[in-house]
Structure 1
Amino acid sequence: MATIIDYVRGARTPLAGDLTPADALALCSLIYTDFHALAGPRSATGCVLGEVARASSIPALYRHALPTHADRPLLEAAGTSPRFREVRVRDAVTRLVPRPLAQFGAATFVDSSGCCFIAFRGTDATSIGVAEDARFGLDFPTESQRWAARYLAYASKRAEGPVAVMGHSKGGNFALYAAAVAAPDALERVYAFDPVGFPARVAHSGFFTSLEGRVSTYVTAGSWVSPLLPLPAPATLVDSSWPGPLSHNPYAWATEGTALRRDRRRPSRSGTALARLLAAILRVRPPRIGSN
């Protein structure tokens, strides 16, 4: 089974305005690397992935990495890939705040045609990142969601071409929220990979109406993440080599050419049961809905 790293290693055509689902998943996985640790990627001009990959041995790039991820192999593959090595990464941001709980990471990738791909990081290995996840069913919007909207507004103003926004897990939630709030004119596509959902009052309220027809959501059958809260758009089931809730790991997802391989199985009953349990809890303690 081909993984996202296999796809990156095998892709031969430079990325130039032809973003595919596999490309988007690759960028959403790359953002787990802490580009903010290097001066080049966190600057406004940035540097190409080929240059960043030459610094792949620096431990700070993976200081918040999840042990199940293959962040360094992916970065090194991207650095030598004809498709990704000339992609520029800029405006990289990492923020960890204990009060209120907020973990946020983002970067802008720019291809040779000037298209901008804005990626938001999902939950990392920090205690703050894990603890913050519990807030998504209880509070809306969170500080991190607001940061995502501000980042997208800033990055979109700097964009010289079309914009796509994307994220995996919590990052997918940020991508959806930011796209709905910032609503940049140049926005063409939103990719959400097994995203954290939203309180039902938000997901079903018309909050995401402006994104209709522009959202691509992918989930795994065994996930315990995306089923917990309602999603604003229909999702496509994709295959993973890891079972059950472990299938959330993007490095285990199956690629098929430039696409993600479909999974014909039904979503797991355990994910559905967890969603029902959370819904019962939220009936006792309804989410706090604030202003954006």
Structure 2
Amino acid sequence: MEKMSNIIDYVRRMKDVPFEIAPLNEIDSLIFSQLAYLDYSLLPTKESYSFLEIYNSNLVPLLVKRTWNAENNSLLFSEISTSTRFRSIKVHEVINLISESEETQFSAVTFELSNNHYFLSFRGTTSTFVGWKEDLNMSYLTIIPSQKSAADYLERIHDKFGGKYYLGGHSKGGTLAVFAAVFTKREINENIIKVFNHDGPGIHSSLHSSDQFRKTRNRIQKIVPEASVVGIMLEEERDFSIIKSSAWSILQHDPYTWLINEDKFLRTPSTTRFSNYTQRTISSWVSAIDEETKRNSLASLYEITKSMETTYLADAVEQWPKNIKILITGVKYADKGIRKDWGIVTKTLIEVSMKEGTQSIKRIHG
């Protein structure tokens, strides 16, 4: 049996095949989505760079330093920089915004392909506390700030370059790509070829009934691994492709574990029981708690994490003895009303988990 490959193997295999011969496909879209995680804002100021120029700058180790999978990201960039298919692609209009006051983390980059075609890639959640807080805010906000930023970014790029567009992203980046495409101006929407959501949460269910969503829906391709946890969150629909991964459980969220056969992901008929259980549990949990309780409990926990005086989760873990004390102290001296909200959230999660677990067992045994 032929060994299945991942996106790095794909780049190696396609290195001498230009986009004029083999047009952009779902694997290319994941590569561009993954490349959005690199911090191009660290490059010297310049209107644009090719991938080859960036690689030759010797700054790639710095660009991948804060990413989730720095080793593979570095290897991927090394491969595309020597690939005829990718090396001449230009990087434009890098934006990287983090605002604790607005609880938003937004980053995007435009890749110029050829013939007036562009790929707008939106970054997923990074290892920042504010990024995770914004993600959690999706449980009670119809629209989060970075979604508005994504729509604004698309409009600005279209006004500057014109042309035709692909939009994509991994994790929250996929959600941003969908929102930007759906809630942009009609004339811009008509210039969008396709939107790729790689294991990103759904947009708020109330937005699905909009005319904008309906007219864009057939150009949205959502892809989730079979044990998806992130991608099935807040997702009311099941209109997505399910693919195989070499990893287990939540680790399947890593794009480097997604299996490829030729120029397509390796499909599978359905998500796993674990994924289905997680989707039902999270959906029931979120809907069972009122908006104010969700808002207050999240806000209070976030305030405690801010006492750690660090931006990144990895730094907080590295200094765990000090930060554990901060967390314990914060919980111990929290307002009585806040502790009550935490209790409601925790109790509801336990109750919903047990209920969904019991129902899952009944489904298995008929």
Identity %: 27
- The aligned counterpart of 1:261 is 266
**Among 104, 107, 116, which residue is 1:105 paired with?**
107
Q: TM-score, normalised by structure 2?
A: 0.72
**TM-superposition CA deviations, 1:112-141 (whole Å, max 9, x none):** 322110000111122222232111221121
Larger Rg: 2
Aligned 8 A contact 1:204 1:232 in 2? no
Residues 1:198 and 2:209 are matched in the alignment: no
What amino acid maps onto 2:25 in structure 1?
T
What amino acid maps onto 1:6 in structure 2?
D
Look up the SS of the partner of 2:150 in the other structure: helix
- The aligned counterpart of 1:2 is 5
Structure 2 gap segments, 5+ residues each? 295-366
Taking the aligned partners of 2:58 and 2:124, their CA distance within structure 1 comes to 20
Higher relative contact order by CA 8 Å / sep ≥ 6: 1 or 2? Answer: 1
Aligned 8 A contact 1:137 1:198 in 2? no
Taking the aligned partners of 2:90 and 2:241, their CA distance within structure 1 comes to 29
Look up the SS of the partner of 1:84 in the other structure: coil
**Count of aligned positions:** 284
**Among 80, 83, 86, which residue is 2:82 paired with?**
80
Residues 1:247 and 2:249 are matched in the alignment: no
Taking the aligned partners of 1:237 and 1:34, their CA distance within structure 2 comes to 30
Look up the SS of the partner of 2:241 in the other structure: strand
- The aligned counterpart of 1:237 is 242
Root-mean-square deviation (CA), in Å?
2.2
Structure 1 gap segments, 5+ residues each? none
1:159-170 equivalent positions in 2, closer than 5 A: 159-170=161-172
Describe the shift of the 1:99–1:119 C-alpha distance in structure 2 as closer, same or farther (beyond 3 A): same
- The aligned counterpart of 1:130 is 132
Aligned 8 A contact 1:115 1:159 in 2? no
What amino acid maps onto 1:260 in structure 2?
F
State the 1:69 CA deviation.
6.4
- Structure with more strand by fraction: 1
Look up the SS of the partner of 2:196 in the other structure: strand
State the 1:217 CA deviation.
1.0
Q: TM-score, normalised by structure 1?
A: 0.90
**TM-superposition CA deviations, 1:219-256 (whole Å, max 9, x none):** 11101111221256710111111111111111111122
- The aligned counterpart of 2:158 is 156
Taking the aligned partners of 1:152 and 1:169, their CA distance within structure 2 comes to 18
Taking the aligned partners of 1:162 and 1:201, their CA distance within structure 2 comes to 29
State the 1:102 CA deviation.
1.0
- Structure with more helix by fraction: 2
Look up the SS of the partner of 2:159 in the other structure: helix
Deviates more, 1:96-105 or 1:57-66: 57-66
What amino acid maps onto 1:284 in structure 2?
I
Describe the shift of the 1:221–1:202 C-alpha distance in structure 2 as closer, same or farther (beyond 3 A): same
State the 1:33 CA deviation.
0.9
Residues 1:220 and 2:237 are matched in the alignment: no
Residues 1:14 and 2:18 are matched in the alignment: yes
Aligned 8 A contact 1:64 1:125 in 2? yes
State the 1:261 CA deviation.
1.6
